[in-house]
Amino acid sequence: MRIVSGIQPTGNLHLGNYLGAIRNWVAMQEDAAATGGQCLYFLADLHAISMPHVPADLAANTREMVAALVACGIDPDRSVLFNQAQVPQHSEMQWLLNGTARMGWLNRMTQWKDKAGKNREGQSVALFTYPVLQAADVLIYQATHVPVGEDQKQHLELARDIAQKFNNDFCPEDAPLFTLPDPFIPPEAARIMSLRDGSSKMSKSDPSDMSRINMTDDADTIMQKIKKAKTDPEPLPGDKAGLEGRPEAANLVGIYAVMAGVSVDNVLAQFGGEGFGKFKPALGELLVEKLAPINTRFLELREDREALDAILRKGAEKARALAIPTLEKTYDALGLVRG
C-alpha cells in the first residue's frame, strides 16, 4: 500500500479537515506500519498560489500546518511529511500530464466552477489546471490509496482518468506506467458542514470564523461556537431517520458520533427527545476534551521554527527520492531525451 494525501496550508486546520481526512491519515499510518506500507503526506503549498494570497501568510501557515499535523499524530519518522515546493518533481510531472489532461475534463470540475463563479476569465490559470497538479501529486508516487473528504472525490476520479489515458496512449498494454489510485473516503465524516449553515461545508475560506471549529481554538471559543451554532427549534429525534431534512441537527449529531466513536443511533438513543439546550453543552465538552491534547501539543510545536523546517527538509529529501523513478519513466514514455 502506498498512501498519499495533501492539504492546503491556507489557514487553520479545522474540524472538517480533521474528521474528514487527517484522522484517517493517522489511522493509515498505523496500518501501514503493521503491513509494510508507506504513507506520504504533504502541504499543498503550490496549490495555495492558485488563489490570491499574501506570501508571508503562506510561509507562516505552512509551518503552522506542519505543527498541527504532527500534533494530530502524524509522525515524521514513520510518514514522509513535506511541502510540495521542496519537491519540484510535482511541478515537472504536472507539465508532463498537461499533455494528457483535456480542457473538457477540467471544465467539468465542480470546485473550479464554485471558485470561479461567474468570473472565469478573471481567474488564474493555476486555478483551472489545479486538478492536474493534484493528479501529479498522487501518480508520481504510484499511490494506491488517497484518504480525503467527499469534496476531493471528483479530483481523484480525474487523476484516474489521466492515468488511464496516459497508460493507453504511451505505454505497452502489458506495462502500464501509472497505478490507478483509489480514493478512501470515510463514510461517517466525509462532509462536515458549517456551524452557521447546514447546506455548505465547513471551510477555511468561509469569512465567518463562527462557521468552523479550528483545531487551535481554546475551550471557551469551542463552547461559544457550539452554543451559537445554528439549529432548529425541535428536540432531537429518537433515530437517524428523524434527522432527515434537518441538516444542522444532523451535522451536530454526526460530529458528536464521530468524536465519541459511537453510531448516530447511539447518540440519539442517549439524547433523543432532548432539546439543543442540553445537547450543545455535551457536544462542546466532548470536543474540548478530545481536542485539548492536540491543542496543547500544537502550541508547543509551533514555537520551534527550526524543528519544523527540519521536518520539512528531511521529508522532502525522502519524497524526492521516491518521486524521481516514476518521473524519469514518464519523460521516457513521452520520447523526451534526457541525455
Which residues contribute to the site for ligand TYM (CB under 6 A)? 5-8, 16-17, 20-21, 44, 47, 134, 137-138, 146, 148-149, 151-152, 190-192, 201-203
CB 47 within 8 A of CB 84: yes
CB 163 within 8 A of CB 333: no
Q: Which residue, 169 or 188, is less far from ligand TYM as judged by CB?
A: 188
Which residues are identified as catalytic? 115, 201, 204
> Which three cell numbers mark 86?
521542496
Cα 46 to its chain centre, rounded Å, is 15
Q: Which residue, 2 or 47, is less far from ligand TYM as judged by CB?
A: 47
**Closest CB to ligand TYM: residue number:** 20
CB of 339 to ligand TYM, least distance (A): 30
In the 3-class helix/strand/coil scheme, how is 206-260 assigned residue by residue?
CCCHHHCCECCCCHHHHHHHHHHCCCCCCCCCCCHHHHCCCHHHHHHHHHHHHHH
> Which three cell numbers mark 287?
470536543
CB of 151 to ligand TYM, least distance (A): 5
Q: Which residue, 68 or 148, is less far from ligand TYM as judged by CB?
A: 148
Q: Give the C-alpha separation, 41 to 22, whole Å.
A: 10
- In total, the chain counts a number of residues equal to 339
Other residues' Cβ atoms within 10 Å of the Cβ of residue 220: 10
Q: Which residue, 141 or 269, is less far from ligand TYM as judged by CB?
A: 141
Q: Which residues are 182's β-sheet partners?
A: 145
**Residue 289: left if φ>0, alpha if ψ -120 to 50, beta else—which one?**
alpha
CB 25 within 8 A of CB 37: no
Q: Give the C-alpha separation, 18 to 7, whole Å.
A: 11
Q: Which residue, 47 or 63, is less far from ligand TYM as judged by CB?
A: 47
CB of 153 to ligand TYM, least distance (A): 8
- Dihedral, CA of residue 248, residue 217, residue 11 and residue 322, to nearest 10: -100
CB of 306 to ligand TYM, least distance (A): 25
CB of 292 to ligand TYM, least distance (A): 21
Cα 156 to its chain centre, rounded Å, is 12
Q: Give the C-alpha separation, 124 to 299, whole Å.
A: 35
Q: Which residue, 117 or 233, is less far from ligand TYM as judged by CB?
A: 117
Which of 150, 176, 153 is closest to 165 using CA atoms? 176
> Which three cell numbers mark 250?
444532523
CB of 28 to ligand TYM, least distance (A): 12
Q: Give the C-alpha separation, 19 to 23, whole Å.
A: 6
